[in-house]
Amino acid sequence: MTASKTRRSLGAIIWLGCAAVCGAVLTLAGVFLYLDPLTPKAETYRNVQLETPLRIYTRDGDLLAEFGERRLIPVTIDQVPQAFIDALLDTEDKRFYEHSGIDFISLTNDTLGLVRSLMVEGSLGPGASTITMQLARNVSFGLERTFIRKFKEMLLALKIERELSKDEILELYINIVPFGKRAYGAEAAARTYYGKPLMELDLAQLAMLAGIPQAPSTGNPINGPERAQRRRNVVLSRMYEQGSISHAAYREATEAPITARVYERAVETPAPHAAEWVRRQLIYTYPDLYTGGYEVSTTIDSTLQNTATAAVRRGLQDFDVRHGYRGAEAQLELDVAALEDGESAKDIVAAAVDALRGFQPAGDLEAAVVLNVEDDEARLVAGDGSFVTLDLDSVKWARPFLDIDRRGPEPTSVAAVLQVGDVVRITPTGEATEDGSVSWRLSQAPDIEGALVSVEPDTGRVLALVGSYDFSRNQFNHVLQAARQPGSGFKPFVYAAALANGVTPASVYMDAPLVFNDENLETEYRPDNNDNRYNGPTRLREALYRSINLVSMRVLLDVEAGPVIDYVTNFGFDPSTFPRNTQLAIGGGTMAVTPMEMVTAYSVFANGGFLITPHVIETVRDRDGILLYQSTRPVVCRECELIAPEDIEQDEDRFSQDDIDAVAETQDIPSPTDEPAEEAAPDTPAPAPRVIDARIAYLMDNMLKDVIKRGTGRKALVLNRGDLAGKTGTTNDAADTWFNGYGADVATTVWVGFSNYAPLGRREFGSTTPLPIWIDYMQQALQGRPERNFPQPDGIVTLKVNEETGEAVLPGDPQGIFEYFLSEHAPQAPSATQQIRSSDEVKAVDLF
């Protein structure tokens, strides 16, 4: 009986066991059938598209800007230090190379902890997640803590382990795990916290990084240094327990201080205004612009961009010095008496350094706090904690600003300029003190703004672009967005229109007062010249290089506003804001043009009469390097005008193969050596359209060179080149000052003014601040570029004229000077013996 009962009990147990196993199998099968469609396919992990920022480069390969999270700086498993791999595995998943995605030992040990977290805290704790499960969570799931998500992780981890090798899983994990501070992946984290590659970090730094993924936002060494240090030491302890490091290495690393700080992204050539222009052009074309890993190659030249930035900042700071010191940016309450006590002084200095963090950068000027002032020197502390001494010579420029045209007396002591607690700006002088330390001088962040844009006039490629003194202070791009009065810089276009309508460089106009009666005005309008002087009869050429307003107005009255406005549209101007009165002649009134429009227009003179389209994007490639876009902006093709395709077709033997190929490239016709093609290549630039007569371009180029040789642009003679041409620009109220000019194959416009349209002062002109900036930049831009002077075109004749009257004279007349004319507008000779010499007869005449 007992044996029978025992057999029945054993049978029941076996039956219940089988039922339990079957139930478990059915349950797991049900869970699998439910969750499997909700988890991604494992093969997608072989081609994970990691979020990668937009990277913008200069034409020579320097990183110009990044937009988006620093999601990926990819590394292979071979490029990861073994110590970092050990730190990860010893801490996160010590049986990584043994399990198949789920570590059942750790899972069993932590199950009770998970249940306890749910019952006590009402939510799940971290649980036992393997590297593979963490990878699944970071790629495919959110961060919410639920049982369903945990089961999904487990199922997907099993799938991933069947699809990828262990090293592939580990490599992907290292490249994608978050490390805080917008750094994703270990390499990005190394550069974010330590400013160097992962391979160059020491053991303490590697352990610090390995501990961050547990709590990337609150456990990184910047947001939670104490927590990060504790976690680092836990990582080191696990490494020591697993035999990955020696006891000596463990002790040395645990005693190491925290050396992490946030390093800015490694932008090699800062050009934030140019980068923002690129971003705005692409944002609507590529919806995943910030995460798709796009790489943009721009037309920006890194050397010229850095030169332009320095030139603009230096020029605006010089303007500020000329107009006086406006005082400290702020005043900190410092206990002067306590500064004499060593211990108290340390705390005060530390507080001052901490306060300096709230002051935004101002170009290359550093913020500093005055700690002590005497008659002959002051002691300051800079934002990095270093101490600076300013003597009387370094503050002597700081005459008090009274108004835009007046300054106070020169200071006779440092104490007359600085007080304890002043927050000021300082800049290195470039010289060393007697003890070999850096010498500094007092400075201030300019209120004035400026902009520079430089292009290749034959292609429209933007070589450099500076939109303001400092992008962090003013994101407004004055190159593209600041529509301002062009002042006298617009006169060349009025004169070009006049040349097209029968006026000549030798035409004489009266430089004398003008009076206009306007019913809409309460008083008569009496325009004048900048110097308030009058020169009487003046030739057009002279009026341009001396920038005489009243002659320009008389030219406009002669030609009339309508034809002038119609003509200047050839230069790319939108005339909708242009006045139809004499203000048009001097770039005033309602006129509003941007520096980009001005450099485009001057490029027409620089390239011989063609209209180009300035552009900054050269190519766009995807994360795999596939070309998505290549610029096809029109380029100047002078050969296209010299050789017509029909000429080649009629008599091919007359032309060289280079000529044939050049025309074929620009005219979309096949070269005889080309294989037949179904259609022309889509990336072939079209020829830029000719918009003004080559002869008028030649005359204007010649007249604008006189601005440099003998006019308002004479400062540029320091560059010692014969191909420089340009024009200053100053508005009547001196609210806008310009210099627009070119040399060789570089055209550059500089604008300087206040954002609120305030006047710059009675002594400020286009030659005062914009021209020196232009010279500083062009000195670098023209290095290695040969002079470019276009040959005299057919239809231009050279004639000797009277210097005062502009009338033709006999060849031997001592008052005669040579002048160029359109052949149809040349003045009549005074007698039959006078002969007009054509360009073929006079090739090397130096007019002046």
User: What is the helix (H) or strand (E) element at residue 727, kind and residue range?
Assistant: strand 725-730
806: left (phi over 0), alpha (psi -120 to 50) or beta: left
User: In this predicted structure, what is the pLDDT of residue 101?
Assistant: 64
Q: Which two tokens stand for residue 167?
A: 């090293």
3-state secondary structure of 747: strand
User: In this predicted structure, what is the pLDDT of residue 660?
Assistant: 56
- % residues pLDDT > 90 (the chain): 57
The three-state DSSP-derived secondary structure of 454-511 is EECCCCCEEEEEECCCCCCCCCCCHHHHCCECCHHHHHHHHHHHHHHCCCCCCCEEEE
Provide mean pLDDT across the span 262-279.
89
Cβ–Cβ < 8 Å for 808, 760: no
Confidence band, pLDDT 50/70/90 cuts, at residue 572 = very high
Compute the 3-state secondary structure of the chain and give helix, strand, coil in percent, each to the nearest 5: 40, 15, 40
Confidence band, pLDDT 50/70/90 cuts, at residue 491 = very high
Cβ–Cβ < 8 Å for 466, 476: no
Over 80: is that where the pLDDT of 735 sits? Answer: yes
- Give the CB-side neighbour count of residue 56, counting CA atoms within 13 A: 29
Cβ–Cβ < 8 Å for 82, 242: no
User: In this predicted structure, what is the pLDDT of residue 840?
Assistant: 39
Q: Which one of the listed residues 92, 618, 665, 819 is annotated catalytic?
A: 92
Cβ–Cβ < 8 Å for 512, 534: yes
Q: Which two tokens stand for residue 699?
A: 């005359």
Q: Which one of the listed residues 443, 454, 488, 547 is annotated catalytic?
A: 488
327: left (phi over 0), alpha (psi -120 to 50) or beta: left
What phi and psi values does residue 400 have, to the nearest 5 degrees?
-60, 135
Q: Which two tokens stand for residue 607?
A: 């390239």
User: What is the helix (H) or strand (E) element at residue 751, kind and residue range?
Assistant: strand 746-753
Confidence band, pLDDT 50/70/90 cuts, at residue 154 = low
Question: Regarding beta strands 63-67 and 449-455, do their DSSP bridges make them parallel or antiparallel, or are they unpaired?
Answer: unpaired
Tell me which residue of 390, 389, 408, 394 sits closest to 326, measured CA to CA.
408
Per-residue pLDDT of 315-325, as tens digits, reads: 999 999 999 99
675 Cβ neighbours under 8 A, 6+ residues apart: none
Over 50: is that where the pLDDT of 121 sits? Answer: no
Tell me which residue of 551, 515, 553, 558 sits closest to 533, measured CA to CA.
551
Over 80: is that where the pLDDT of 265 sits? Answer: no
Annotated active-site residue 488? The verdict is: yes
Cβ–Cβ < 8 Å for 457, 745: yes
Over 50: is that where the pLDDT of 681 sits? Answer: no
- Give the CB-side neighbour count of residue 310, counting CA atoms within 13 A: 13
Per-residue pLDDT of 521-561, as tens digits, reads: 556 677 777 777 888 999 999 999 999 999 999 999 999 99
Helices of type H across 686-769? 694-710
Cβ–Cβ < 8 Å for 102, 305: no
Q: Within the chain, how many helices (H) and strands (E) appear?
A: 24, 23
Confidence band, pLDDT 50/70/90 cuts, at residue 9 = low
Question: Can you tell me the distance from the alpha carbon of 805 to that of 816, in angstroms, rounded to the nearest whole number?
Answer: 10
User: In this predicted structure, what is the pLDDT of residue 438?
Assistant: 80
Provide mean pLDDT across the span 812-840.
70
Provide mean pLDDT across the span 760-778.
96
Q: Which two tokens stand for residue 513?
A: 């007062």
Over 50: is that where the pLDDT of 843 sits? Answer: no
Per-residue pLDDT of 362-379, as tens digits, reads: 888 999 999 999 999 999
Question: Can you tell me the distance from the alpha carbon of 821 to that of 783, in angstroms, rounded to the nearest whole number?
Answer: 33
Length of the chain: 848
Residue matched to tokens 């320009």: 552
What phi and psi values does residue 523 have, to the nearest 5 degrees?
-125, 170
Question: Can you tell me the distance from the alpha carbon of 399 to that of 679, in angstroms, rounded to the nearest whole number?
Answer: 69
- % residues pLDDT > 70 (the chain): 78
User: In this predicted structure, what is the pLDDT of residue 678?
Assistant: 41
Cβ–Cβ < 8 Å for 294, 282: yes
Over 60: is that where the pLDDT of 648 sits? Answer: no
Annotated active-site residue 92? The verdict is: yes
Q: Which two tokens stand for residue 362?
A: 């101002």
Dihedral over Cα of 411, 414, 419, 424: its sign: positive
Question: Can you tell me the distance from the alpha carbon of 806 to that of 818, in angstroms, rounded to the nearest whole number?
Answer: 10
- Between 593 and 168, name the one with better pLDDT: 593
User: In this predicted structure, what is the pLDDT of residue 836?
Assistant: 40
Provide mean pLDDT across the span 589-600.
96
Over 50: is that where the pLDDT of 214 sits? Answer: yes
Q: Quick count: other Cβ atoms within 10 Å of Cβ 453? A: 30
Question: Angle 247-254/203-211 helices, nearest 10 degrees?
Answer: 70
Tell me which residue of 701, 703, 699 sits closest to 712, measured CA to CA.
703
User: In this predicted structure, what is the pLDDT of residue 166?
Assistant: 86
Q: Quick count: other Cβ atoms within 10 Å of Cβ 389? A: 15
Over 60: is that where the pLDDT of 654 sits? Answer: no
- Between 450 and 517, name the one with better pLDDT: 450
Most confident of 15-24, 95-104, 197-206: 197-206
Question: Can you tell me the distance from the alpha carbon of 467 to that of 478, in angstroms, rounded to the nearest whole number?
Answer: 5
What is each CA distance from 703 to 198, 238, 277, 710, 847, in whole angstroms?
Answer: 60, 80, 34, 11, 11
Residue matched to tokens 């000195």: 779
Give the Cα-Cα-Cα angle 700, 706, 709 (nearest 5 degrees). 150
640: which strand partners?
A: none
User: In this predicted structure, what is the pLDDT of residue 498?
Assistant: 97
User: In this predicted structure, what is the pLDDT of residue 530?
Assistant: 72
Q: Which two tokens stand for residue 19?
A: 């039922």
What amino acid is encoded at 46 in this protein?
R
pTM of the full predicted structure?
A: 0.82
What is each CA distance from 615 to 274, 457, 604, 780, in whole angstroms?
Answer: 10, 11, 16, 21
What amino acid is encoded at 111 in this protein?
T
User: In this predicted structure, what is the pLDDT of residue 421?
Assistant: 92
Task: Tell me what the pLDDT averaged over the chain comes to.
Answer: 84
- Between 156 and 784, name the one with better pLDDT: 784
Q: Over the range 190-209, which residues count as b (16 or more CB within 10 Å of their CB) and which as e?
A: bbbbbeeebeebbbbbbbbb
Determine the distance from the C-alpha atom of residue 742 to the mean position of all C-alpha atoms in its chain, rounded to a whole number: 22
Q: Over the range 820-832, which residues count as b (16 or more CB within 10 Å of their CB) and which as e?
A: bbbeebbbebeee
Over 60: is that where the pLDDT of 747 sits? Answer: yes
User: In this predicted structure, what is the pLDDT of residue 85?
Assistant: 92
Helices of type H across 593-693? 595-607, 638-642, 645-650, 657-667
Over 70: is that where the pLDDT of 70 sits? Answer: no
Per-residue pLDDT of 389-445, as tens digits, reads: 999 999 999 999 999 999 999 999 999 999 999 999 999 987 766 666 788 999 999
What amino acid is encoded at 692 in this protein?
I
Q: Over the range 55-69, which residues count as b (16 or more CB within 10 Å of their CB) and which as e?
A: bbbbbeebbbbbbbb
User: In this predicted structure, what is the pLDDT of residue 835?
Assistant: 43
Over 50: is that where the pLDDT of 482 sits? Answer: yes
- Alpha-carbon Rg for the chain, nearest whole angstrom, is 37
509: which strand partners?
A: 538
DSSP 8-state code for residue 385: S
Tell me which residue of 599, 545, 587, 848 sits closest to 714, measured CA to CA.
545
- Give the CB-side neighbour count of residue 139, counting CA atoms within 13 A: 29
Provide mean pLDDT across the span 153-160.
69
Cβ–Cβ < 8 Å for 236, 229: no
Determine the distance from the C-alpha atom of residue 250 to the mean position of all C-alpha atoms in its chain, rounded to a whole number: 45
803 Cβ neighbours under 8 A, 6+ residues apart: 539, 815, 816, 817
Among the ranges given (42-46, 767-771, 814-818), the one the predictor scored with the smallest mean pLDDT = 42-46
Over 60: is that where the pLDDT of 23 sits? Answer: no
Confidence band, pLDDT 50/70/90 cuts, at residue 274 = very high
Give the Cα-Cα-Cα angle 636, 641, 643 (nearest 5 degrees). 125
Over 60: is that where the pLDDT of 616 sits? Answer: yes
Tell me which residue of 550, 566, 549, 580 sits closest to 496, measured CA to CA.
566
Cβ–Cβ < 8 Å for 156, 42: yes
Among the ranges given (37-41, 208-212, 623-627), the one the predictor scored with the smallest mean pLDDT = 37-41
DSSP 8-state code for residue 815: T
Cβ–Cβ < 8 Å for 594, 614: no
